[in-house]
A and B are shown apart, each in its own frame.
Chain A
């Protein structure tokens, strides 16, 4: 494993785009976590004196303010925090659920596999938006619901990928050796299957995070996700769209933040895939 990681790390470092992308992501995360301390303003104070103000160094309204006079710097960073948190947590859920589901379906095979894959197919057929709306209607709007509904859907492709990988390694001799050695199904899946399908899982997970962030932004943009007075990049963008002509910074600031974050995550994910997937000569 160590040599494999060394090799992969070396390839990753050699890739021209992946490392700057990773640094940019880390920079964004650091800014969103520590940025607010640099600025006295908070997300909710209404500054009636500077409503819809330009970005300026005065009053520390570095990114300007919105229609209600709230500081955009603080709100954008808060929104970014929420978006990133959702991305990470929902991805974690989808990895956990997807890997377990896919590995079990792929390894056990037979009727169990058929049944499990039919379930995935049915769930895949459900339109995401309606599903979220449905849950929102029943449980009301809440951030936790958002986590669950996004995560609940994100695991489907992960499960398919893991199942495919499992099917191909199931035929290998070391699995037969484990069976011959008396290992039970649980042990084989946990110790022999999962560690060997991790490669594509990591790659897909890094590419899932931006997808999820984008999806959450879209939901919030539609008014289904994070609500006032909370902020997510999506809801900020929604607000900004309304003020596009008069106060363009309200759209540009959260919009660029989102765009840069997604771009870097995608570049890094691609680089990671190239680094991990290279077949040795």
Chain B
């Protein structure tokens, strides 16, 4: 059963949620990200695509100030995150969350998943009692498709897909305004990827959060993004609406990228019917 509706872009607000200007990140004096500028609006999904070494993850981490950029500004809700003092930056983090490529590695192996999910609550909502926290953790666990009694278990007891759900639970328990997904489904089985992506889309609809979706899988990106940004060797080479990028790519690199994706022959309709 395949719903045929096409993703509709949200109404573009006047003030972007995130404004990145002239971002430059250097490692050992070599620029990994060069003069990157873009806007991101509330409730929209913007994809950042490109190949390895293009700098996509670096951009994501720089925006969240997990690495320190050499130059540039990242304005979030009117505040320049790169110049904010540490305490102010920490306060902003409740609205800026991230999920990572390796779901198991992003969870502390010595912490129960309940504690891991509750940690943002402990930090940002200290007025909650332990009981209230437990309830919130149970609630978000159920929301991401797991059961509340899993809270006392450890990450290694879960599969990759389940670990990613836990990571999503942790990232969304405070209802952030922006969620960065850094190759969030790339290491998962194909049959699980759809589950996780649909979960993200559902949560986006519930919470109205914006998503910066980093991926090298153009087919997935095509279905879920409103806008797409293409990176090559640290620079943004093309930014376009999803429709435009996939039907009429402008930059030669974008065209090369699209041409390289292996194509599948169309599948007969009979196999969808699901009957003998």
To the question of whether A and B form a pair in one complex, the answer is yes
Q: Which of A3, A4, A172, A182 contacts B120 (CB 8 A)?
A: A182
Structural contact, A178 and B108, CB atoms closer than 8 A: yes
Q: Does A134 contact B (CB under 8 A)?
A: no
Structural contact, A183 and B123, CB atoms closer than 8 A: yes
**Could you say which residues of chain B place their CB within 8 Å of the CB of A196?**
108-110
Stretch at the interface among B98-106, B205-213, B257-265: B98-106
Closest CB in chain B relative to A182 CB, distance in Å: 4
Q: Which residue of A lies closest to B173 (CB)?
A: A181
Structural contact, B106 and A174, CB atoms closer than 8 A: yes
Main SS of the interface on chain B? mixed
Structural contact, B170 and A177, CB atoms closer than 8 A: yes
Q: How many chain B residues touch the partner (CB < 8 A)?
A: 29
**Could you say which residues of chain A place their CB within 8 Å of the CB of B100?**
173, 176-177
A199 to B136, CA, bound (A): 33
Structural contact, B105 and A180, CB atoms closer than 8 A: no
Structural contact, B154 and A177, CB atoms closer than 8 A: no
**Could you say which residues of chain B place their CB within 8 Å of the CB of A184?**
90
Question: Are A177 and B120 also in contact (CB < 8 A) when A2-B154, A3-B154 are?
Answer: no
Q: Which residue of A lies closest to B108 (CB)?
A: A174
Q: Which residue of A lies closest to B86 (CB)?
A: A184
Q: Does B28 contact A (CB under 8 A)?
A: no
**Could you say which residues of chain B place their CB within 8 Å of the CB of A192?**
108, 111
**Could you say which residues of chain B place their CB within 8 Å of the CB of A181?**
93, 97, 119-120, 123, 170
Structural contact, B119 and A183, CB atoms closer than 8 A: yes
Q: Does B156 contact A (CB under 8 A)?
A: yes
Q: Does B94 contact A (CB under 8 A)?
A: yes
Structural contact, B105 and A173, CB atoms closer than 8 A: yes
A182 to B96, CA, bound (A): 9
Closest CB in chain B relative to A245 CB, distance in Å: 57
Task: Mark contacts of A155-178 with chain B using CB atoms, 8 A cut-off: 1 yes-contact digit, 0 otherwise.
Answer: 000000000000000001110111
Q: Does B276 contact A (CB under 8 A)?
A: no
A196 to B154, CA, bound (A): 14
**Could you say which residues of chain B place their CB within 8 Å of the CB of A173?**
100-102, 105-106
Q: Does B13 contact A (CB under 8 A)?
A: no
A174 to B105, CA, bound (A): 6
Structural contact, A180 and B110, CB atoms closer than 8 A: no
Task: Mark contacts of A1-38 with chain B using CB atoms, 8 A cut-off: 1 yes-contact digit, 0 otherwise.
Answer: 11110000000000000000000000000000000000
Q: Does A125 contact B (CB under 8 A)?
A: no
Question: Are A195 and B110 also in contact (CB < 8 A) when A180-B66, A181-B123 are?
Answer: yes
**Could you say which residues of chain B place their CB within 8 Å of the CB of A1?**
110, 154
A96 to B207, CA, bound (A): 44
Task: Mark contacts of B56-94 with chain A using CB atoms, 8 A cut-off: 1 yes-contact digit, 0 otherwise.
Answer: 000001001010000000000000000000000011011
Q: Does A114 contact B (CB under 8 A)?
A: no
Structural contact, A176 and B66, CB atoms closer than 8 A: yes
**Could you say which residues of chain B place their CB within 8 Å of the CB of A3?**
154, 156-157
**Could you say which residues of chain A place their CB within 8 Å of the CB of B119?**
178, 181, 183, 191
A235 to B97, CA, bound (A): 62
A226 to B267, CA, bound (A): 86
Q: Does B124 contact A (CB under 8 A)?
A: yes
Q: Does B167 contact A (CB under 8 A)?
A: yes
A2 to B167, CA, bound (A): 21
Closest CB in chain B relative to A187 CB, distance in Å: 8
A181 to B64, CA, bound (A): 10
**Could you say which residues of chain A place their CB within 8 Å of the CB of B107?**
174, 177
Closest CB in chain B relative to A233 CB, distance in Å: 38
Closest CB in chain A relative to B104 CB, distance in Å: 9
Question: Are A182 and B90 also in contact (CB < 8 A) when A173-B100, A176-B100 are?
Answer: yes
Q: Does A128 contact B (CB under 8 A)?
A: no
A195 to B155, CA, bound (A): 15
Q: Does A259 contact B (CB under 8 A)?
A: no
A182 to B98, CA, bound (A): 12
**Could you say which residues of chain A place their CB within 8 Å of the CB of B110?**
1, 195-196, 198
8 Å CB interface, B104-136 against A: 105-111, 119-120, 123-124
Structural contact, A177 and B123, CB atoms closer than 8 A: no
Closest CB in chain B relative to A193 CB, distance in Å: 10
Using A181-B120, A182-B93, A184-B90 as known contacts, list a sample of 12 further A-B pairs with CB atoms less than 8 Å apart, ordered by residue number in A: A1-B154, A3-B154, A174-B106, A174-B108, A177-B100, A180-B66, A180-B93, A180-B97, A182-B124, A183-B123, A191-B111, A198-B110
| Residues in A lying within 8 Å of B, measured CB to CB | 1-4, 172-174, 176-184, 187, 191-192, 195-196, 198
13 contacts between A and B (CB under 8 A): A4-B156, A173-B102, A173-B106, A176-B98, A176-B106, A177-B106, A177-B167, A178-B108, A179-B66, A180-B64, A182-B90, A183-B119, A192-B108
